[in-house]
Structure 1
Amino acid sequence: MRKDIWFLIVNPTSGSFSRKRKWTQITAAFEANELPYDFTFTQKPQHEYELVLEALQKGYRKFVCVGGDGTLHHIVNGLMQQQQVSLEEIKLAVIPLGTGNDWVKTYKIPTNIAKAVQIIKDEHTVFQDIGKLSLLQEPTTVFFNNVAGLGFDGYVVKRNERLKFLGPMSFLVSTVLGLISYKASEFTITSKEKEITSKSLLTIVGICQFSGGGMQLTKDVDPTDGLFDVSMAKRFSFWTLIRNVVRLFNGKIVNHPEVETFKTDAITIETSQKNTYIQADGELIGTGGFVAEILSKKLQFVVSPSWKLEPTN
């Protein structure tokens, strides 16, 4: 039955995908591990949505994302938006071949293809929380599995669109260039726990630990606790940002006195700057503000058997 066959959705334009060499390694690893599989290649932007629906209709229930965070984001959205099959029947694995590969870092999934396929064979899974994000300026709703936010991180994602040819270094270059030109906006954050209005560099709503090519902007992360980890970076001058670039990537930025962190299951973020970029899982979603709510333990992911929650900061 097809429900026991892994269905690979392959993005041939992903950051580190070399069609012939990488694809040969992937097929060889599946065959060496005696894992039954079928596959398809994306042929246009956001093709993943259609491919997910077609696969479900044919009976597939086990999916592999072959690509980066953007490919995973679109597959997750395809699965979350469909109503044909209960999500409890679905498993989603990842072979990371993208530019940033941020989501896999939380779960210790390596970029080495043979090792990533071994994790798929082990089939150790976790039901992870999923975020539901609705824009305030337009009738758009998306789901996210890693991190969403607005402000500087959205600005970096926008800049990075033209720098992806640099590979994994593109996010670092985009961050440095963004530090020079980005101007902080005033945000109002509303949740059950607190209300904050402040000038802000960025506000992050996180489920997992890494974003922006390895930046760690969330504190006390637990992808299964039914809560967002929110970080608001307030009044940062240019030179304060420069001095703290390393802390953006080692996670210590959340301990800075101008960073406020808390947990919540729902949040509204508003801004007077209507052109403030919003990103979800490294994908530009729109501008302005948004409402986000957590969907607890909603989707089953295949992760490393060695993964366990550790203190993040």
Structure 2
Amino acid sequence: MTEISEIPSLLVKSGGKTINLTFKNDILSIVKLKNSSPNKFNNSISVEIKVLVPGKKLRLTNFIFEVITAEQAASWVELVRDAAYKNSKPNKHLKLVINPVSGKGGAEKIFNKDVKPIFDAASCTYDITRTERVNQANELMRTLDLKNYDAIICVGGDGTMYEVMNGILSREDAVDVTIPLGTIPTGNALNISLHGDSHGSDVAQSTLTIIKGVPMKIDICSVTQGDKRFFSFLTQSYGIVADCDLGTENMRWMGDIRFIIGTVQGILAGRRYEDWEILNDDLYLFYCGKTPWVSKEFIIFPCALPSDGLMDLVIIKRDGISKTKFINLLKCASTGAHINFNENRQDGYIGIDGERVPFEPFQVEVLPRLITLLSVDGNYCHVNI
């Protein structure tokens, strides 16, 4: 493997100007030279280089350059490729699971407009399954020949990833599965935890993470309820959070703002959550999770780590907080600062990764380092609190 520092610069020409190309630390630098010999390019050929240019969001840009010889350009490209993919495999073959109704119905458009050109530029190949019904991704993962792929990619919300993970972990060979999973954001909390709120909705950034990302082991929560078993990577909720999530499914077209509306409605309604078998407290909120972000607006578990073997738990007792205080706490949850905040019914909602399950007792245990995700640097995005 070639070290980055060993890569020589490459002289090219564009628009009559001589340019020096250098590659270091995954950054391509383009510098115009004032003094150079144009005669070198008398018999030059043209080459195209596709680059993700940083800005408010990454943008795929094509550059056309003239090079002195094809051999010289090919040699330079090989050195750059070795350095750029030093921690990952180039030319990945991917299995894509696209949920067309995700992202307000825009998942397919997002893939074709923003994701596909980057995959093609990176010489990635892929097979696509477009889901048409609930649980289709789960069923697909139970029987898919995984050895044909380098990664499984979900183009959808957290529900799509939930189905994929549950399908993989329900396989007979589940303990032997090591294939990494990746996500393209069309409205999901997992991607925000991987990239932070500033880049969590940047489709190009997420696509780049899939192409060049670092495998990261994460804990999975095994949830048993009666004779049923679910696998959770995100949250388990009961109380006002479950109500504002599952009780606002009819507002899904509004995006993440529905969570805020549902929470405020729950606070104003003053709904009670009593008669908990273990805690024996009058609960306002019971929320358990494994990722820092649960949506773009809320960092409920700012100290969550991907593979510490622990669940992060938030409990609010009704007799310990007023409605006004709860609203103030909700504001703090947008930055994760609520952890420093100094405050029973017969039916309702229980949510596992945002999916509704029966309103019955359930048990949760952590299964350490069970699933592999493609990440930026092997960890969730850091939360400053």
For the superposition of Structure 1 and Structure 2, which TM-score range results when normalised by the shorter chain?
0.7 to 0.9
AA of the residue aligned to 2:194:
Y
- Distance 1:179-1:56 versus aligned 2 partners, 3 A rule: farther
For residue 164 of structure 1, report the CA deviation from its aligned partner.
0.7
SS of residue matched to 2:363: strand
- 1-side partners of 2:342 and 2:116: how far apart? 50
AA of the residue aligned to 2:338:
I
- Distance 1:308-1:60 versus aligned 2 partners, 3 A rule: closer
Matched with 2:11 is none
Question: Do residues 211 (structure 1) and 284 (structure 2) align?
Answer: no
- 2-side partners of 1:92 and 1:86: how far apart? 15
Structure number with higher relative contact order (C-alpha < 8 Å, ≥ 6 residues apart): 1
Pairs within 5 Å for 1:103-182: 103-108=190-195, 110-135=200-225, 138-182=226-270
- Distance 1:58-1:296 versus aligned 2 partners, 3 A rule: closer
CA offsets per residue over residues 36-56 of structure 1, 9 Å max, x none? 211110010121112213423
Pairs within 5 Å for 1:80-119: 80-98=169-187, 101-108=188-195, 110-119=200-209
Long gaps (5+) in structure 2? 1-91
AA of the residue aligned to 1:291:
Q
- Distance 1:50-1:197 versus aligned 2 partners, 3 A rule: same
Matched with 1:286 is 358
TM-score, reference length from structure 2:
0.69
Report if the CA contact (8 A) 2:272-2:345 is conserved: no
Report if the CA contact (8 A) 1:128-1:297 is conserved: yes
For residue 132 of structure 1, report the CA deviation from its aligned partner.
0.8
AA of the residue aligned to 1:299:
I
Report if the CA contact (8 A) 2:306-2:379 is conserved: no
TM-score, reference length from structure 1:
0.84
Matched with 2:25 is none
Question: Do residues 253 (structure 1) and 343 (structure 2) align?
Answer: no
Single out whichever of 71-80 and 233-242 deviates more from structure 2: 233-242
Count of aligned pairs: 289
Single out whichever of 35-44 and 212-221 deviates more from structure 2: 212-221
Report if the CA contact (8 A) 2:299-2:334 is conserved: yes
SS of residue matched to 2:300: coil
For residue 282 of structure 1, report the CA deviation from its aligned partner.
1.5
- 1-side partners of 2:272 and 2:181: how far apart? 37
- Distance 1:20-1:12 versus aligned 2 partners, 3 A rule: closer
Report if the CA contact (8 A) 1:97-1:111 is conserved: yes
Question: Do residues 65 (structure 1) and 154 (structure 2) align?
Answer: yes
Identity %: 23
CA-atom RMSD in angstroms: 2.4
For residue 168 of structure 1, report the CA deviation from its aligned partner.
2.7
